[in-house]
Amino acid sequence: FITKLDMELAAIEKGGYDHFMLKEIFEQPQTIHDCLRGRLDADAGTITMSGIEKHAAQILAAQRILIIACGTSWHAGLVAEYIIEELCRIPVEVEYASEFRYRNPIINKGDVILAISQSGETADTLVAIETAKEKGAIILGVVNVVGSSIARISDAGAYTHAGPEIGVASTKAFTAQLVVLLMTALKLAAEKGSISRDRYLLLCKELAAVPEKAELLLKADAQIKALAEKYKDARDFLYLGRGYNFPVALEGALKLKEISYIHAEGYPAAEMKHGPIALVDEELPVVFVATKDSYHEKVVSNIQEIKARKGKVIAVITEGDTITPTLADDIIVIPQADEMIAPILNVIPLQLLAYHIGVAKGLDVDKPRNLAKSVTVE
Amino acid sequence: FITKLDMELAAIEKGGYDHFMLKEIFEQPQTIHDCLRGRLDADAGTITMSGIEKHAAQILAAQRILIIACGTSWHAGLVAEYIIEELCRIPVEVEYASEFRYRNPIINKGDVILAISQSGETADTLVAIETAKEKGAIILGVVNVVGSSIARISDAGAYTHAGPEIGVASTKAFTAQLVVLLMTALKLAAEKGSISRDRYLLLCKELAAVPEKAELLLKADAQIKALAEKYKDARDFLYLGRGYNFPVALEGALKLKEISYIHAEGYPAAEMKHGPIALVDEELPVVFVATKDSYHEKVVSNIQEIKARKGKVIAVITEGDTITPTLADDIIVIPQADEMIAPILNVIPLQLLAYHIGVAKGLDVDKPRNLAKSVTVE
């Protein structure tokens, strides 16, 4: 009786989807919308984030911002590093919480630490910011679970409002982190005057359009499922990207590892020539996150190098790109978006690819072996 | 005739070794000695590095040091980050040259950039420092090839004096980089007064003892060859480490990728719980760089977690460690050394492991497929 009821409850909670992971991937247009709501007014060009507002002067006065996180949140931190450095012109360093806390890190009074965690309970991140706080650092938290330990210890911060994430592999929490971090960067840049009004307004409008574009993107689900069938027996994968898309490559690879147990590894695309390209043969699928941006031309030349070694290329490209499809074996098309917005969209098909490969292999995608939803042990 | 002569010449150049890579691994006691000679006087407690001396005041006044490199040199940079931050208390950031140069990096007049490159011709690193130099940064080069482009463009620097490296996978150049970087950190810390005289003298003595310990270590060659036979058919590998040994794990994995085409990936050990541990089953060898240091206890608990999931553990441990051998499937024993010195020694058996697995698989270890010795294209 109890088992049966539990199963039915679970089925109801999954809202018609086969797995929580799939439900959460499909929720992203809504969760991104929730994350923007009450904060972004794209027409007025305003972003309301009281936690950031209150500490803006201190943050802008900081000599550097340290981002502390683990796993998927660490990838969100890498995207934020690139965006904050570009828009706010403040040096940013991203550290693995587990490495940071056991070193004797250099923290001075007034330093700014940005902690990112879905659960808000990640043990290494929590201890890292406790130590930093004792040394007088200002702690900003980007957290999903309201009232969690990291949220409570932070001086300020912003919730990601993605709702409960049940699938062990983080999906909607990641895109919500990217949205919050981008809004934070925009707000700080506007305050500092390091962004032109035009660029600021454009990025606000682009942010507001993300839910709709994500919705559009999810229509590629059937196509990605077919791709998953084609590649599910691959021994391993490489995921490559440059610039804002380099962390997306890392995150795509991590999803595949977690869900399919296929050894996928992400790399900045140019680093492949310094070693990983030795792995490339006619068996190896290489996923390129290759949407149109300042790095695009260089990424295309990396694709050519992989094809010259007979690797299989799956390219995530921008709608309207006519060159890359002539080089790649398979393509996934993303609606046009600014290069700072694109990571939010680009990761979604990679989540789907990992999901469908995991399902095709008959694995428990909601509860991959060996993994816990939040790592509350050290 | 010509072919025959070439082959004989190559055989002579290999000095009795089957491959340049093996020769270069075995040369390390000598190359490290060469790197120290004329610089380190451990008894007097002096380190002579005129390039660093001349710019010491500027370096110590810098708000941060940026290290720019690719591939194996990037791993040396990560070790240097940890050591410089600890000894000199200056924030250090390590960037992939290819990522750094295409961003719009924040560089101010007087910023210090440390460029690391074996060949001194790595295209991405070269262009990155050219740009930084135009913006007024001070460029320090750690380079092996005398008179190379990076050496010429640098304001100061230090050669690694490892001699010509013929094997495509870098070995002796890496350990020489570590030695030069450690001497640089020691020199700066002494100048700044951020290191106690006792610790400084101890590290000088420990450095002077490296060639002898490396010699001792190389006696494990036959044992490592047997390990290679045991693990050569593994589908993939994980390499894990914490702190100073985290970059050693990355470097060990890179060597195996390059030489054996086995998909090996390095990670900071604590990050495994955030995803990669899903890969662990009874087939997967996990190499732990687990010598005695401040992180050792935590690494041991990570080993236990891998064993609980039935992974195969190969542990690189310190002589005299009685706990780890009871947990690991196989061990490689390293002579006792300070935690800042250990990376120089720990990487050597990982180079040998990659070499012997490559040879056991019948591959061309001196010229792995798809790779060039120095990446002079972008």
B247-306: pLDDT as tens digits: 999 999 999 999 999 999 999 999 999 989 999 999 999 999 999 999 999 999 999 999
* Mean pLDDT in residue range A144-165: 95
Residue A274 makes CB contacts below 8 A (sequence gap 6+) with: B70, B71, B72, B74, B254, B375
What is the rounded distance in angstroms from the CA atom of residue A174 to the CA atom of residue A69?
12
Which residue from A213, A263, A231 is spatially nearest to A353, judged by alpha carbons? A231
Q: What was the pLDDT predicted at B6?
A: 61
Q: Is the pLDDT of residue A7 over 80?
A: no
Q: What was the pLDDT predicted at B4?
A: 58
Q: What was the pLDDT predicted at A8?
A: 66
Mean pLDDT of all residues belonging to chain A: 94
What is the rounded distance in angstroms from the CA atom of residue A218 to the CA atom of residue A166?
20
- Residues on chain A touching B274 (C-beta within 8 angstroms): 70-72, 74, 254, 375
Q: Is the pLDDT of residue A151 over 70?
A: yes
* Mean pLDDT in residue range A39-65: 95
Residue of B nearest to A123 (CA): B270
What's the predicted TM-score (pTM) here? 0.95
Do A162 and A211 meet the contact criterion of CB atoms below 8 Å apart?
no
Q: In what helix (H) or strand (E) does residue A125 lie, and over which residues does it extend? A: helix A123-134
Percent of chain B with pLDDT over 70: 97
Which residue from B265, B259, B295 is spatially nearest to B280, judged by alpha carbons? B265
- Residues on chain B touching A372 (C-beta within 8 angstroms): 273
Q: How confident is the model at residue A120 (pLDDT cuts 50, 70, 90)?
A: very high
* Mean pLDDT in residue range B77-104: 95
* Mean pLDDT in residue range B306-330: 96
Which residue from B374, B375, B368, B373 is spatially nearest to B262, judged by alpha carbons? B368
Q: What was the pLDDT predicted at A109?
A: 84
> What's the gap in Å between the CA of B66 and the closest CA on chain A?
11
Q: What was the pLDDT predicted at A11?
A: 66
Q: Is the pLDDT of residue A1 over 60?
A: no
Are B278 and A370 an interchain contact pair (Cβ–Cβ within 8 Å)?
yes
Q: What was the pLDDT predicted at A103?
A: 85
What is the rounded distance in angstroms from the CA atom of residue B227 to the CA atom of residue A175?
43
Write out pLDDT tens, residues A238-272. 999 999 999 999 999 999 999 999 999 999 999 99
Q: How confident is the model at residue B2 (pLDDT cuts 50, 70, 90)?
A: low
Q: Are strands A285-289 and A46-47 parallel, antiparallel or unpaired?
A: unpaired
Burial-class residue A4 by CB neighbours within 10 Å (0-12, 13-18, 19+).
Answer: exposed
Are A257 and B273 an interchain contact pair (Cβ–Cβ within 8 Å)?
no
Q: Is the pLDDT of residue B5 over 70?
A: no
> What's the gap in Å between the CA of A113 and the closest CA on chain B?
14
Residue to substitute from B370, B373, B378, interface A, most A β-carbons within 10 A: B370
Q: What was the pLDDT predicted at A13?
A: 84
Residue to substitute from A174, A263, A267, interface B, most B β-carbons within 10 A: A263
The sign one gets for the Cα dihedral B25, B27, B33, B34 is negative
- Residues on chain B touching A375 (C-beta within 8 angstroms): 273-274
Lowest mean pLDDT among A5-14, A64-73, B38-47, B325-334: A5-14
Write out pLDDT tens, residues B33-89. 999 999 999 999 999 999 999 999 999 999 889 999 999 999 999 999 999 999 999
Q: What was the pLDDT predicted at B376?
A: 79
What type of residue is B325?
Answer: P
Are B263 and A279 an interchain contact pair (Cβ–Cβ within 8 Å)?
yes
Write out pLDDT tens, residues B172-185. 999 999 999 999 99
Do B93 and B81 meet the contact criterion of CB atoms below 8 Å apart?
yes
Three-state SS at A68: strand
Q: Is the pLDDT of residue B378 over 90?
A: no
> What's the gap in Å between the CA of B38 and the closest CA on chain A?
32
> What's the gap in Å between the CA of B1 and the closest CA on chain A?
32
What is the rounded distance in angstroms from the CA atom of residue B1 to the CA atom of residue B103?
52
Are B309 and A271 an interchain contact pair (Cβ–Cβ within 8 Å)?
no
Q: How confident is the model at residue B206 (pLDDT cuts 50, 70, 90)?
A: very high
Q: How confident is the model at residue B374 (pLDDT cuts 50, 70, 90)?
A: confident
Do A333 and A220 meet the contact criterion of CB atoms below 8 Å apart?
yes
Are A371 and B243 an interchain contact pair (Cβ–Cβ within 8 Å)?
no
Q: Is the pLDDT of residue B7 over 70?
A: no
Write out pLDDT tens, residues B107-151. 988 899 999 999 999 999 999 999 999 999 999 999 999 999 999
What type of residue is A356?
Answer: H
The sign one gets for the Cα dihedral A330, A333, A337, A342 is negative
Write out pLDDT tens, residues B339-368. 999 999 999 999 999 999 999 999 999 999
Q: In what order do the strands lie in the sheet with B138-143?
A: B92-96, B65-69, B112-117, B138-143, B156-159
Mean pLDDT of all residues belonging to chain B: 94
Report how far apart, in Å, the C-alpha atoms of A336 and of each of A210, A250, A303, A317, B347 are: 10, 22, 20, 9, 45
What is the rounded distance in angstroms from the CA atom of residue A83 to the CA atom of residue A354?
26
